[in-house]
Structure 1
Amino acid sequence: MPSSTTTHAGRQRAAHLGPERRRPQVLDAALTIAVRDGIGAVTVGSVAAAMGVTRPVVYACFSDRIELVDALLDRETTSLVEAVLVALHSSANADDPERAFIDGFRALLHAATDSPDTWRLVLAGEPDPAIAERFRSGKALVQARTVEWIRPAMEHWWQTPDLERKLPVLIDLFLAACESAVRSLLDPDNDWGPDDLGTFIGKAIHGVFRDA
């Protein structure tokens, strides 16, 4: 069955999928535009053009640009936070502390490999205020979950002295290392893969925490 029909003017008409099935496609197109040109370039018209459909097709999914951008940021925030939490959980049961850090960074970098545009949207050099505000709450959640994992781990593995004083600094360092690792992985000038870079960063951060 053909996926589209031709109008009298020769324009390709999008197959009728229904708003629920088409929304993910609209958001995918919006993400591509946001990563390439910035969130300000995401409009109903630009998304329709990128998809090769008419504006009413996009309006059937989202009532206006504001709703479209909000849905995009909600989806990407949720995806990013879930990926980081999965990375943390992947190392939670490791008996070897160095292995725990390596496994966690590998899982994080594999997630970035699977959804690079989500990370590029967040890691833009000068992120749009709308993006920064939305992801700030996500970062707060990740920070809280990181503390929940790292505090007992450090108590168990190393009985770190003066831990409560050191912990905020170590958490900031850990999150910065996560961001740096993803940036390096997505940099086309680097030849790192998720496993070798995860091993390298994991070992380095393990040494910092061990020696704290």
Structure 2
Amino acid sequence: MAPEERREQILDAALDVIVEHGVGRVTVDGLAKAIGVTRPVIHSQFTDSDHILRAVLEREEARALAQLTDVFGTASQTSAPENIAEMIKAYLGAVLAEPKRWRAILLPAGYPPAFRKRLQRGQELITDIFEQRARASMPQDTDVEMLAKALLALVLDAGRIALEEPDDFPPERIASFTATMAARVLGHDQQV
């Protein structure tokens, strides 16, 4: 196997372990066993389990941010309830397209401080995007910081719900609810 393919295989196995058993269960021995290789094969790519964890975090963070950039970059700039609902639906589509990645991000258990800090930085980037959008589309007197924080909470919880209860809360249901609530908050009289 080519070195880059081996590296991806190891990172994929590490992500599986994180999602199924938590960060603390990622070990060189465990990963070697999971993919059917010896420790030296793992060590040809990574120095230790911390190196593997940093690499999987960096990879998944970059991929998640790319997904979010696609979702939020193509969403309409207006704050109409339908546009907000479409943005949520597109985001949930991204979450459900890569459930392992988003389980690791949205359902972290037992993550060490460095990992939590990394996740927090990603959330701050999303909040900044929401603030920029709100400044461009909301009335002048809108508390855009509070709105951005509320939208972040909505996005994170919507992703968790979609992952944990997909049959009861499909993206369409969450998006419809979001549009209804946005219409009420924004004072739109039309039915959504």
Name the TM-score class by shorter chain.
0.7 to 0.9
Kept in 1: contact 2:162–2:171 (CA 8 A): yes
CA deviation after TM superposition for structure 1 residue 197, in Å: 2.2
- Take 1:29 and 1:110, find their aligned partners in 2: how far apart are those partners? 23
Provide the TM-score with structure 2 as the length reference: 0.87
CA deviation after TM superposition for structure 1 residue 37, in Å: 1.3
| Contiguous gaps of at least 5 residues in structure 1 | 1-16, 155-159
CA deviation after TM superposition for structure 1 residue 143, in Å: 1.3
Structure 2 residue corresponding to 1:109, chosen from 61, 76, 92: 92
- Say if 2:1 is the partner of 1:54: no
Kept in 1: contact 2:22–2:109 (CA 8 A): no
Kept in 1: contact 2:77–2:137 (CA 8 A): no
Q: How many residues align?
A: 187
CA deviation after TM superposition for structure 1 residue 50, in Å: 1.2
Give the CA RMSD over aligned residues: 2.1
Structure 2 residue corresponding to 1:162, chosen from 141, 147, 153: 141
| Contiguous gaps of at least 5 residues in structure 2 | 188-192
- Take 1:59 and 1:175, find their aligned partners in 2: how far apart are those partners? 38
- Take 1:41 and 1:111, find their aligned partners in 2: how far apart are those partners? 27
Relative to structure 1, the CA distance from residue 46 to residue 59 in structure 2 (aligned partners, 3 Å threshold; closer, same or farther) is same
CA deviation after TM superposition for structure 1 residue 127, in Å: 4.4
Query: SS in structure 1 opposite 2:45?
Result: coil
Question: Sequence identity of aligned pairs in percent?
Answer: 30
CA deviation after TM superposition for structure 1 residue 181, in Å: 0.6
* Dislocated runs of 4+, deviation >4 Å: none
Query: SS in structure 2 opposite 1:33?
Result: helix
CA deviation after TM superposition for structure 1 residue 161, in Å: 4.9
Kept in 1: contact 2:131–2:147 (CA 8 A): no
Structure 2 residue corresponding to 1:35, chosen from 16, 19, 32: 19
- Say if 2:89 is the partner of 1:100: no
Provide the TM-score with structure 1 as the length reference: 0.79
Structure 1 residue corresponding to 2:116, chosen from 117, 132, 151: 132
- Say if 2:158 is the partner of 1:181: yes
- Take 2:155 and 2:43, find their aligned partners in 1: how far apart are those partners? 38
Larger mean CA deviation between 131-140 and 104-113 belongs to 131-140
**Relative contact order higher in (CA < 8 Å, ≥ 6 apart):** 2
Larger mean CA deviation between 186-195 and 29-38 belongs to 186-195
Kept in 1: contact 2:77–2:133 (CA 8 A): no
- Take 1:47 and 1:125, find their aligned partners in 2: how far apart are those partners? 20
AA aligned opposite 2:8: P
Report Cα offsets for 1:6-60 as digits up to 9, x if no partner: xxxxxxxxxxx12111111111100010111111111111111111221122112
CA deviation after TM superposition for structure 1 residue 64, in Å: 2.0
AA aligned opposite 1:22: R
State which structure, 1 or 2, has the greater radius of gyration over its C-alpha atoms: 1
AA aligned opposite 1:167: V
AA aligned opposite 2:107: A
- Take 2:110 and 2:184, find their aligned partners in 1: how far apart are those partners? 32
CA deviation after TM superposition for structure 1 residue 177, in Å: 0.4
